Amino acid sequence: MVPTRRSLARWIEVLTLSFVLISIGSAAAEVSDLVTDRPDQTESSETVPPGYVQFEFGWTHAEDDEDADVTSDSFPETLIRVGVVENLEFRFGFGGYIWEEMDSPGGPSESEHGAGDLEIGLKWRLWDETGWRPQTALLAGTSVPTGEAPFSSERFDPSVRLACSHTLTETLGLGYNLAGNWTTEEDARGDRDTDASLAYTIVLGIALSEQLGTFIEFFGEVPTDEGKPANSFDGGFTYLIADNLQVDVLGGVGVSEDAEDWFLGAGLVWRLPQ
């Protein structure tokens, strides 16, 4: 039997709930500092400790006027990270509900909205930082075609990423990623094509106080076949409200023609148990 989008979504909900219940029941007595995979584009090399579940939520607004004026909002962007064993976490994501408006020169305005796809994956911390060798983690996953047209790829699109980080000083940290992504989109003829791309990020994190942090980041993506790179700069702030609760804001601009003109966002991270 071929699984439907509804059955796939239900299966992921049940699996996520199972991991949450198991993890909360076996929570460790001590836990490391809260390290998140948002709001920047660079994934951290840290994993959620075993027995803990970390919820990362966000909203993003973006605008681009390359061929037409396109405005989009997505909420709630969701990442659930479940600590399974030491150095390994399972990951469940949701692209959020998306609202998009397009104003074409000389043409009518168009608007579309719908749910994005789900994602499943894992992060495995390969080794810790030693001297010049960075702390390194491997991330692998795939999208699950549960979203609504035109925001679903309608295929399982895989991705793989290497995440590295260096501790520069007590208040400075450097992170960088290299990733391979496969994305399926509909072309002008109505056919669906899956294209590969290489993504790269580098971020400098700065601790301004025990609660307040900031970052500046460069990131981009280049197709392996046809197309131009899409490069952007962004920055933002994080504020630790409690040991298990953090809020963030960010904003960025595109620095190449194929990147979005500008974007901004905000989010919240909550880890259980406290």
pLDDT tens, position by position, for the chain (274 residues)?
334 444 444 544 544 454 444 444 444 445 689 999 999 999 999 999 999 999 999 999 999 987 789 999 999 999 999 999 999 999 999 999 999 999 887 777 889 999 999 999 999 999 999 999 999 999 999 999 999 989 999 999 999 999 999 999 999 999 999 999 999 987 767 678 899 999 999 999 999 999 999 999 999 999 998 889 999 999 999 999 999 999 999 999 999 999 999 999 999 999 999 6
* CATH code of the domain in which 113 resides: 2.40.160.40
pLDDT of residue 188: 64
Return the ∠ at Cα 204 (arms to 201 and 209), rounded to 5°.
145
pLDDT of residue 7: 47
- Expressed as residue numbers, the domain containing 224 is 5-272
Look at the chain and report how many structural domains it folds into: 1
In angstroms, rounded to a whole number, what is the distance separating the alpha carbons of residues 200 and 198? 7
Q: Sort strands 192-207 and 172-186 into parallel, antiparallel or unpaired.
A: antiparallel
Backbone φ, ψ for residue 43 (5° rounding)? -75, 140
Alpha helices in the chain (DSSP H): 5-25
Radius of gyration of the chain (CA): 19
pTM over 0.85: yes
Nearest to 160 by CA among 135, 139, 137: 139
Judging by beta carbons within 10 Å of its beta carbon (0-12, 13-18, 19+), is residue 48 exposed, middle or buried? buried
pLDDT of residue 30: 58
In angstroms, rounded to a whole number, what is the distance separating the alpha carbons of residues 260 and 252? 9
In angstroms, rounded to a whole number, what is the distance separating the alpha carbons of residues 138 and 199? 14
